[in-house]
Amino acid sequence: MSREAVKAILAEPDSKTKVGLRDLTLMITLYGTAARISELLSIRIGDLHLDGSKPYVIITGKGGKIRTLYLLPKAVGFLRLYMKKYHGSNGGKEDFLFYSSIKGRTTAFSQQAVFKLLRKYAAAAHEKCDAVPLELHAHQFRHAKATHWLEYGMNVVQISFLLGHSSVETTMVYLDITTEQEMSALATIEGEKNQKVSAKWNPKTDTLSDLCGLRRPKS
């Protein structure tokens, strides 16, 4: 998704309502961290650290690998509002950040529920911005954020770490970084990609000493 498409879909939820606040907070956090949807839905209250000078969330990825992702001010602001509205003073550290209540029992918010809310907002946003895909799914937020990081100049190694990939090669494939793009990036000055080589000396008349400015004195 383009940045315009992301802005369009984030503009759809009504954060003045309880459900709208939840949905917007979920999408902002999903995009802001570029976390996998399974990682996002497994976040517990104890994983959030919003009060320090550099707020962050601890993410548990594939294979139980843990990584720390810093949160930007907008995400922090909405997470604070969401926490107050949905958890109040009763939230325990082991409680899921995003949850569903079924017959008084609290469980993690499901991927199917996320799928439904994304499609709902995508349909509405698409009418205002046709760059918003109607078949929107959570993974597109992750891919969009990673692509935008790349466009803003972040290197692939940094992006690989933030995404929780086991290798840089995975990230390169994930971001569709082609050999052509790699070669283009390697060329830092004009002419480096030009295969034509113009002769700088005439082997019939010039000698190595001439090229080096070491002309033999005339006898």
Where are the extended beta strands (E) located within 22-163?
A: 48-49, 56-60, 66-70, 99-102, 105-108
Q: Confirm whether 82 is a catalytic residue.
A: no
Catalytic residue among 22, 31, 36, 82: 36
Q: Confirm whether 126 is a catalytic residue.
A: no
Catalytic residue among 62, 74, 128, 193: 62
Q: Confirm whether 105 is a catalytic residue.
A: no
Region label for 155, one of left (φ > 0), alpha (ψ between -120 and 50) or beta (otherwise): beta
Task: Please list, in sequence order, all residues whose beta carbon lies within 8 angstroms of the beta carbon of residue 105, skipping any fewer than 6 positions away.
Answer: none
Q: Confirm whether 36 is a catalytic residue.
A: yes
How do 66-70 and 99-102 pair as beta strands? unpaired
Q: Confirm whether 62 is a catalytic residue.
A: yes
Q: What is the 3-state secondary structure (H, E, C) of 189-200?
A: CCCCCCCCCCCC
Q: Please, are residues 90 and 80 in contact by the beta-carbon 8 Å criterion?
A: no
Cα separation, 50 vs 205, whole angstroms:
75
Catalytic residue among 22, 31, 142, 145: 142
Q: Confirm whether 148 is a catalytic residue.
A: no
Catalytic residue among 84, 128, 139, 193: 139
Q: Active-site residue numbers? A: 36, 62, 139, 142, 165, 174
